[in-house]
Amino acid sequence: MVSIVGGENNPDLKKELMEDYRMHCESEGISYGGPYDDADSVIAKDDGKAVGIAVYKTGSEFRIILLHAVEGAPEDTEERLIRSVSAMAANKGSYGITVNSIDSGGRNFVTCDRLGFEFAGACPCCQRPGMVCMAKKF
């Protein structure tokens, strides 16, 4: 089962996942856009192994700069990362979240009209058959 931990408490895991993501971008010809050293992060772990990361900026609108699950990660990894950051945003009174989810197809801007969430890339909730929109939960 995937659990979420603070990335700032796991700097080596954050560095490892960011390097994995940079290499993924290079292999797919996608702009990396980093470094993201000053941003906060949460890490998804499955059976103790890091399987995904959400790097975000706080403020009146939370912005997830990077949402990335490693190859072979459980299907709900990105959803759990979004849920974790969304819960933090709601707790701090933010009015929205912007998510950059970058896949092998590059950036494809899709607007989620549930709560005004704006997704850049394939939203892991509504783009997969049978999945429930995570924005409905907040």
- Given this model, what pLDDT does residue 87 score? 72
- Given this model, what pLDDT does residue 61 score? 61
Name the band, by pLDDT with cuts 50, 70 and 90, for residue 98.
low
- Given this model, what pLDDT does residue 110 score? 41
CATH numeric code, 2-137: 3.40.630.30
- Given this model, what pLDDT does residue 111 score? 42
10: pLDDT strictly greater than 50? yes
Q: Render pLDDT for 82-96 as a digit per residue (tens, 0 to 9).
A: 778 777 776 666 655
Residues in contact with 135: Cβ distance below 8 Å, sequence separation at least 6, in sequence order: 86, 112, 114, 115, 117, 125
Name the band, by pLDDT with cuts 50, 70 and 90, for residue 107.
very low
Average pLDDT over residues 94-115: 47
- CA distances to 23, 26, 49, 67, 92 from 87, in Å: 30, 32, 23, 16, 9
What does the H/E/C string look like for 47-115?
Answer: CCEEEEEEEEECCCCEEEEEEEECCCCCCCHHHHHHHHHHHHHHHCCCCCEEEEECECCECCEEECCCC
Q: Render pLDDT for 44-85 as a digit per residue (tens, 0 to 9).
A: 889 888 888 888 877 666 677 777 788 888 887 877 887 787
- Given this model, what pLDDT does residue 138 score? 39
Extents of the domains making up the chain? 2-137
